[in-house]
Structure 1
Amino acid sequence: MGAVLKDKESAVVVDDAARGILIASWFGEPTVELVDQYYSWHGAFLDRHRKERRRFILITDTYASTRPSPAARKRIADGFKSLGPDVRDFTFQSYIIVHNALIRGVLTALGWLDERLSESVIVATPADAIEGALKDLEKAGIPRPANLSPQGYRRPARPKEASRETA
């Protein structure tokens, strides 16, 4: 039950089809509204995992995103805090795919706001993130999802409604 969240020309495609791994692909500038939508969705996802006592790995793909505004960066930190103090009990690892030095700088600054945000593993490609996530699941005794492999994964397309193109 993934989601496509949109605001203006920005979007997040959230894919939870591979049990144990949640992939969030960001497109455009993360706006305050989009960040709020994402943390609302993520909070509900996390609540289901709390009830079922299930753990998962988060992969955040920033390949198509731009640097968030200061207001959006604060909202990211606030949104993360709103997930609760036990978020790391259920999100036992986080990978962030980064291609842009500006995004890497944003992640460093967010880590200053909440040290838990600095615990993510920064990688260059989806294959690196998925390979690491699958190894982490294995180490934790969680079955690997049969429908996800580092070689077979394809990034989602940018949602049309969040496209910069006009008809």
Structure 2
Amino acid sequence: PTLQDAWYFGNKLKQYSIAEQGAIAFPVFVILLSTMIPISLYVTVEFVKIGIALFLEQDVKMYDEETDRRMRARTSNLVDGLGQVTHVFADKTGTLTRNEMVFKKCYVDGVKYGEASSFDREICTALGATENKKLVDFLRCMAICHEVNAELEDAKSSHTHYITVDGEKSGL
């Protein structure tokens, strides 16, 4: 007797090719044997990392127009380090950005500028208003002085001193 002869399957049993059987059996065996093989968690994590790396390679924003190449993940450890990056503040040598940095957002005097794609419109509207002296000063300082640290005068005061890298208080 064969499986087709079994009464409980009826006529609904489909014949699968060897390739289809292998494609179905592999994940089934991985799931079934994962409780018996302690290394399976490590293998599963590696498969997930490879999957994420493949998704990153397909990201259209990870494309370099100059070289006409997409991002290429050469290691599965790329995903581990990528999740830990929160801010990229400066690229003094220009090796990463080729000195082509794009200013996206800023926070001046309690107002956040730069939500979504309306940043240019927001800044131009705010600069047109005469009462936005702090915003004008902020943008002027960004254009003139690129290396300034803001420090509070003391914990109780809200007055801020702007200090240059060489320690002078003449940053602004």
The verdict on a shared fold, with TM-score over 0.5 as the criterion, is no
So what's the TM-score if we normalise by structure 1?
A: 0.18
When you count helix as a share of all residues, which structure comes out higher? 1
Q: Considering Cα pairs closer than 8 Å and 6+ residues apart, tell me whether 1 or 2 has the greater RCO.
A: 1
